[in-house]
Amino acid sequence: MSEIKTIQRKLNRKFGGAVKATREDDLIRLTGTLSTWEDIVKAGSMAVSKDKRKVHVVNDIQLAGADPVPVRTPVLKDDALEGRTPDVLIIGGGVSGAAIARELSKWDLDILLVDKESDFAIQASGRNDGEVHVGVDLGKGSLKQKYVLLGNHMFDEVCKELDVPFRRIGQYACFTQPYLKPFVTLYSKWRKYHDGVKDVSIVGREQLHRDNPTLNEDFAFAMYNSSAGIVSPYNLTIAYAENAVQNGVEVSLNTMVTAIHNEYGTIRSVETNRGTVFPKVVVNAAGVFADEVAEMAGDRFYSIHPRRGTDTIQDVKSNKIIHTVASIVEVNKAYLTSHTKGGGLMQTVHGNVLAGPDAVETREKENYATHPESIRTIYTKQQKTVAAASPRDIITYFTGVRAPTYEEDFVIEWGRKAKNLFHVGGIQSPGLTSAPAFALDVEKAVVERLKGSMTVEPNKDYDPHRQGIPELNKMSPEQREEYIKKNPDYGIIICRCEEISKGEILDALNSPFCPPTIDAVKKRVRPGMGRCQGGFCSPLVTQIIAEHAGIQNADVRKCGERSVQLYGKTKEGQA
Amino acid sequence: MTEQTIVCITCPRGCTMNVKQDGDEITVTGNSCKRGEVFAVNELTHPMRTICSTVSTAFPESPVLPCRVSTDIPKEMIFDVMKEINKVVVKERIGRGDVIIPDVLGTGADVIATSDLLK
Amino acid sequence: MNTVNTDVLVIGGGPAGLAASIAAHDAGAKVLLIEREQRLGGILKQCIHDGFGLVRFKEKLSGPEYAERFIDVFKEKEIPAMLQTFVTESKKTDDGFLTTVVNHEGVTKIESKAMILATGCRERTAKQVSIHGTRPAGVFTAGTAQNFINLMGELPSKKCVILGSGDIGLIMARRLTLEGAEVVGVYEVKSTPSGLTRNIHQCLNDYGIPLHLSHTVTRVFGDDRLTAVEIAEVDDKMAPIKGTEEIIECDALILSVGLIPENEIAENLGVQLDWHTKGPLADESLMTSVPGIFSCGNALHVNDLVDYVSESGEIAGKGAAAYAASARKAAPKAVDLEAGENTLYIVPQKVTLPEGDASEKTIVYFRSKEIFDKSIFRIQNEKGEVIFEKKYPFLRPPEMEKVLVDFGAFDLANGGKLTATIEEVTA
């Protein structure tokens, strides 16, 4: 029996004929109507082909009675980009788009990066746990597995070049059942010798507890990966983007692609709210919207089904409970069928404790609302990892939305019906780890393609090094004194919780690309990230931004164009 | 005869007082001091309140200067007095106690500065 | 790098730190005050409402007026202060403390014999009271809103909901109304108000702002700016009751959900904290568990009136000066003072007993756990003997009580324990 018939039969059994599966060229299209989103996702997962590297599920099943979810669109409307003819147009300012832009900037090319949001890393790249994964749970042959191994090895160098804090803190997957030890040992050997996960080892009870005295004492052993690390995902994205800008990449934020004109299999023009551009090559790094960009280009051969996850951040004061990445592995049915085995408890590069994430399928690609149930789920699980993990120490929490395909793998390839469109889709965990590696492959592919129609020379001025902003609170008193003597603003502390000076805030505002918003400054140099969550410093930061940008306090936004903080002066005639 | 409960706002103690009115005669019980009785009688006859706010200044580093009325004003005039306060722009480096608006709206109260922050 | 030395180092230039500096100076100590902001006065700079100083000055002053009275004295006495200066590290040395500070001139090391921590408190945030939903602009703590309005002259809301009936929340309800904003209502999760009764009257009732007890905000809405909040009634365990949810359109959520003493410097120095007050455990001179470190004001425990903040500053200032001059002998006898039944907390938590006949009354602050009518506050020893007793017509948690106790008048055993209790007397 053909595969499509088998799939149809399975779907019929489950949904009683409400879903129709059709094989078109190299995709499986699902149509019909179902009454819950969970069922729609389930149908999508059931339709995954055995040949899933090539054949993807396109899920067109409608949700009964539901209106389409509106997309957040920029307010800005002008013609700043009208008629631009970049060699490469990159859609998306997350870690994928930023890393690709930076790698492409080695070449003397006209590169334009657009993102509909008001800063880099606003969506998934700014809303994840920042773990640099080892790929121990990924199947051989997947793109995830290929790039996670390559990417993990690149992190030391990339983070050094980009001056981004990165620490290899190791990861423990902890087990309570001693009888599982032989199986997990075998599994780890298989991963090591067959799949190339070289750093894996098994740690016995005694050593585990000696090295990690806060872990649940019931743990019998753990699988340990020494190369697991942590990085700030938004700092890495911003660093990539800044380096790209330094090397000549043009960035246009608040810029949304609204239409793509595909003529006989080639994209001729791309419409945005800032005008129409005519690129030679388009890179689709649009995260959760990658399938929608593909659709605009007439080249949708995969579907993204958003999956949200919430993480919590604990006060630095509580960081004695963990100095590595650790999580309990509860071997049960839920574990074996779950797509999120990662996460856990970890100490972030900034010394906080991060707990999470959970995983919930959602229809809404941009709904970042948090829910009390998520916090409960996270702590119910992680208190089994470290009993001292307490929701009382939480200072904040956030939700991100992952962008998986039904095949649960990356889509990194040229378009099928738009031959100058390169897809970087389905980028979810371990996307952050993989980005440095796949960005190099995208660079190669794009340059090779461009060479067919133009000469591509190296960018003579390319400099892979980006200078981060000095962190005064990490310096010795002597070094700090030296910095303050040179710039007295480094001695004026604005954020008392994170000990951030006015000088560092001004450095952020003067960096190669920093929108004049509270959140942009917060992401770059951390005022407001501490336990008071900006209660004390946000008025001061507002004033520094306003003064620096030459705007009114009321014109300083929290994040996006619409996120008004202040409504203007309370009195007439105020100075 | 009418009877009502009034919470005294004269001091943080916040006594709950029972006030009986019989014609012109007002009896107050539950107060801990004489000021409470005065307050209660005022509440029934002509309630008085204070206002604390800010006035605009001509100095960008201190865009507003705290102020208040020097003595209580009739409660119903609060928003009228606020309008007057909102019109002012302080151009001199005045200090604590200095009069910003004398006898505001004929209430007998001055609007005075309550900080030396411009000095 | 500069090194300076002093007898008493005061950290924080708000009402507690100012009073402590003046008292330590008057007791003959060499004092240095460190303030992280540009101006002295602490949070009082933005508390432009009146009601300060009734106890001390018998006058109704605004916050700046109250603070500036102390600042005037402080300046008159020429007590040195380093402004816009931030403590980055403080550690114990053999003969005192070494504190590192930074300001625009560079890094300074300060050697001191004693330290007074007058670091105030901070506000509980939205995430600390488990508010979920989106993360738009328009969620402010009452103090942040107060800063925007009273110091910057900027309006943070045109129509808001206030969560929490703490005094700052009530004061801000009136303040926002006076500046032209609409306050839809104040919501309080507890079944009783958190703020002073008079503030409910003069800040809410006077302006027709409703107070909804046993209600909380469960969610906020809005991707960019807040567009609405969901409120719900809560049960007696303060859990939202399903089906009582209501959406209220507004542009801001202002939070007055509690204050937490700031004790990060204290904790790094190994000072033990009281989980009731969230401030250091202190003796009657307000010395903490680390000899030479004193605590006062809202860093010690959250006070209801600034008058008491200044008072505790003075106690700490005197104590620190005596310690620095080594006039303070190791007390031969000390007893613990514990918050017992119906008592939310008590300060100090330890009392050293004077030697011989010397008898000095000790200032004791406490709060009741709940609202009580006619009640008796008692301090008893382990045997149940009453050391102190006072009758109250009523006790309310928002109102801190102060009593003077003559511990020396009793023959208390060293290492003993005294317990404070409140008994409601039913009529």
Of the pLDDT bands very low, low, confident and very high (cuts 50, 70, 90), residue A140 is: confident
Does A475 contact chain C (CB < 8 Å)?
no
Residues of C within 8 A of A499 (CB-CB) are 86, 88
C149/C171 Cα distance (integer angstroms): 12
| Residue A136 pLDDT grade (very low, low, confident, very high; cuts 50, 70, 90) | confident
Separation CA C303–CA C165 (nearest Å):
16
**Residue A339 pLDDT > 60:** no
Please choose, from the candidates A83, A11, A70, A77, the residue with its C-alpha nearest in 3D space to the C-alpha of residue A44: A11
Say which of C102, C122, C126 has its CB closest to residue A484. C102
pLDDT (0 to 100) of residue C352? 86
Is the domain covering A472-555 a CATH 1.10.10.1100 domain?
A: yes
Question: Per residue in A255-306, pLDDT tens?
Answer: 999 999 999 999 999 999 999 999 999 999 999 999 999 999 999 999 999 9
Phi, psi of A163 (to 5 degrees): 55, 55
Residue labelled with tokens 């129709």 = A20
Whole-angstrom distance, CA of residue A116 vs CA of residue A92:
8
Question: What pLDDT score was predicted for residue C411?
Answer: 76
Q: How many CB atoms lie within 10 A of CB C229?
A: 27
CATH number of B52-113: 3.10.530.10
A113: helix, coil or strand? strand
Whether residues B60 and A571 touch (CB distance < 8 A) is answered with no
> Which of A417-421, A545-549, B32-36, C131-135 comes out lowest in average pLDDT?
B32-36
Number of CB atoms found within 10 A of residue B1's CB: 8
Contacts of A480 in chain C (CB under 8 A): 102, 106-107
Contact A480 C107 (CB under 8 A): yes
Structural domain spans, chain B: 2-45, 52-113
Pick from B59, B60, B64: which is nearest to A571 by CB? Answer: B64
CA nearest to A86, candidates A299, A265, A283, A261:
A283
> Looking at CA atoms only, how far is residue A303 from chain C in angstroms?
25
State the pTM of this model.
0.95
Q: Which of A569, A570, A575 sits opposite B58 (nearest CB)?
A: A575
b/e sequence A493-522, b meaning 16+ C-beta within 10 Å: bbbbbbbbbbbbbbbbbebebbbbbbbbbb
Q: What is the DSSP code (8-state) at residue A67?
A: P
Q: Alpha-carbon distance C174 to C183, whole Å?
A: 8
| Ranges of each domain in chain A | 3-63, 72-166+230-302+404-462, 167-229+305-402, 472-555
Q: Which CATH code fits C331-427?
A: 2.60.40
Q: Rounded to a whole number, what is the distance in Å from the CA of C112 to chain A's nearest CA?
A: 19
- Which DSSP letter does residue C328 get? S
Q: Is B98 helix (H, G, I), strand (E, B) or coil?
A: coil
| Long-range CB contacts (within 8 A, 24+) of B46-51 | B46/B74, B47/B74, B47/B75, B47/B76, B48/B72, B48/B73, B48/B74, B48/B75, B49/B73, B49/B74, B49/B75, B49/B78, B49/C202, B49/C206, B50/C50, B50/C60, B51/B78, B51/B81, B51/B82, B51/B85, B51/C178
What pLDDT, on a 0 to 100 scale, did the predictor assign at position B26? Answer: 87
Residue A340's nearest CA partner among A387, A408, A285 is A408
What tokens were used for C389? 């007793």
User: Is C136 within 8 Å of A563 when comparing Cβ atoms?
Assistant: yes
Residue of A nearest to C134 (CA): A369
Report how far residue A398's alpha carbon sits from residue C252's, in angstroms, rounded to the nearest whole number. Answer: 20
User: Would an 8 Å CB–CB cutoff place C153 in contact with chain B?
Assistant: yes
Q: How confident is the model at residue C102 (pLDDT cuts 50, 70, 90)?
A: very high
DSSP B46: S
Do A572 and B57 lie within an 8 Å CB cutoff?
no
Q: How far lies A406's CA from each of A28, A140, A416, C274, in Å? A: 11, 18, 18, 53
pLDDT for position A196:
86
Under an 8 Å CB criterion, which residues of A touch B?
569-575
Tell me how far apart the alpha carbons of residues A190 and A182 are, in angstroms, rounded to a whole number.
12
C1-122+259-328: CATH topology: FAD/NAD(P)-binding domain (3.50.50)
Query: How far lies A473's CA from each of A395, A482, A484, A526, C86, in Å?
Result: 20, 13, 12, 12, 11
Burial class (CB in 10 A: 0-12, 13-18, 19+), A460: exposed
For residue C255, what are the β-bridge partners? C141, C163
Q: In 3D, which of A254, A250, A16, A228 has the Cα closest to residue A122?
A: A254
Instruction: Tell me the pLDDT tens digit for each residue of B76-86.
Output: 999 999 999 99
* C162 strand-pairing partners: C186, C254
Res A342 pLDDT > 60 = no
C338 beta partners: C419
Q: How far is A225 from chain C (nearest CA, A)?
A: 33
What is the token pair recorded at C331? 């007390």
Question: Are C70 and C19 in contact, with CB atoms under 8 Å apart?
Answer: yes
Choosing from A56, A133, A305, A350, the catalytic residue is A133
Give A243's contacts (C-beta < 8 A, 6+ positions apart).
A102, A105, A161, A162, A463, A464, A465, A466
Model ipTM value: 0.95
Superfamily of domain A72-166+230-302+404-462: FAD/NAD(P)-binding domain (3.50.50.60)
Instruction: Judge whether A133 counts as a catalytic residue.
Output: yes
The answer to whether C53 touches C60, Cβ cutoff 8 Å, is yes
Q: With beta carbons less than 8 A apart as the criterion, state whether A226 and A168 touch.
A: yes
The per-residue pLDDT for range A427-484, each reduced to its tens digit, is 999 999 999 999 999 999 999 999 999 999 999 999 999 999 999 999 999 999 999 9
Question: Domain A167-229+305-402's class?
Answer: alpha beta
Put simply, the answer to whether B60 touches A575 (Cβ < 8 Å) is yes
* Residue in A closest to B85 by C-alpha: A571
Helix, coil or strand: residue C425: coil
Burial of residue B71 (CB within 10 Å: 0-12, 13-18, 19+) is exposed
- What token pair was written down for A490? 């480094």
Q: Tell me how long chain A is.
A: 575
Would you call C45 helix, strand, or coil by DSSP? helix
Q: What's the CATH architecture for A3-63?
A: 2-Layer Sandwich (3.30)
B83 interaction partners in chain C (CB closer than 8 Å): none
Beta strand residue intervals within C118-227, DSSP E? 121-123, 132-133, 139-141, 159-163, 182-188, 211-213, 215-221
pLDDT of amino acid C333: 79
* Helices C15-26, C306-324: crossing angle, 10 deg rounding: 40
SS3 A322: coil
pLDDT at C196: 87
Q: Which residues of C touch A371 (CB under 8 A)?
A: 132
pLDDT tens figures, A150-194: 999 999 999 999 999 999 999 999 999 999 999 999 999 998 998
Query: C386: closest CA among C338, C360, C421?
Result: C421
Separation in Å, CA A534 to CA A499, A518, C126: 12, 10, 11
DSSP structure string for C359-413: ---EEEEEEESS-BSSEEEEEE-TT--EEEEEEES-B-TTS-EEEEE-GGGS-PP
Asked whether A312 and A391 are in contact (CB, 8 A), the reply is: yes
User: For testing the chain B interface, which of C176, C196, C303, C392 should be mutated: the one with the most B CBs within 10 Å?
Assistant: C196
Exposed/middle/buried for residue A363 (C-beta within 10 Å: 0-12, 13-18, 19+): middle
Tell me the percentage of chain A whose pLDDT exceeds 90.
93
Q: What pLDDT shows up at residue A135?
A: 86
CB contact at 8 A, B3 and B9: no
pLDDT at A572 over 90: no
A vs B: CB pairs below 8 A: 30
Name the residue of chain A whose CA is nearest to B62's CA. A575
Q: How far is residue A410's CA from residue C111's CA, in Å, rounded to a whole number?
A: 59
Mean pLDDT within A87-102 = 98
- Considering CB atoms only, which of A485, A491, A531 is closest to C103? A491
Q: Rounded to whole angstroms, how far apart are CA atoms A330 and A177?
A: 9
Q: Which two tokens stand for residue B91?
A: 């151009």
Cα C146 to Cα A62: distance, rounded to the nearest angstrom:
49
By C-alpha distance, which of A504, A520, A232, A497 is closest to A350? A232
Amino acid at residue number C278: K
Nearest to C49 among B52, B63, B96 (CB): B52
Compute the nearest-CA separation of B38 from chain C (Å): 16
Q: Which CATH superfamily is domain C125-257 in?
A: FAD/NAD(P)-binding domain (3.50.50.60)
Contact C114, C320 (CB under 8 A): yes
Q: Where are the domains of chain C?
A: 1-122+259-328, 125-257, 331-427
B36 CB neighbours in chain C (<8 A) are none
Chain B residues touching residue A551 (CB < 8 angstroms): none
Tens of pLDDT, residue by residue over C273-323, are 999 999 999 999 999 999 999 999 999 999 999 999 999 999 999 999 999
Residues in chain B with CB shorter than 8 Å from the CB of A572 are 56, 86-87, 89
Distances (CA, A) of A173 to A170, A179, A471, B85, B101: 10, 15, 33, 65, 71
* Predicted local confidence at residue C409, as pLDDT: 78
Mean pLDDT across A121-139 = 91
Taking any CB pair shorter than 8 Å as contact, residues of chain B touching chain C are 7-14, 16, 49-54, 56, 63-64, 66, 68, 75, 78, 82, 96, 114-117
B98: left (phi over 0), alpha (psi -120 to 50) or beta: beta
Of residues B12, B49, B66, nearest to C305 (C-beta)? B12
B53: nearest Cα among C144, C50, C166:
C50
Query: What is the reported pLDDT for A575?
Result: 58
Judged by a CB distance cut-off of 8 A, whether residue C14 touches chain B is no
C246 neighbors C156 (Cβ within 8 angstroms): no
B89 CB neighbours in chain A (<8 A) are 571-575
Q: How far apart are CA C291 and CA C354, in angstroms?
A: 18
Q: Do A572 and B87 touch (CB under 8 A)?
A: yes
Eight-state DSSP code of residue A126 = G
C1-122+259-328 and C125-257: same fold?
Answer: yes
**Model confidence pLDDT, tens digit, residues C265-274:** 999 999 999 9
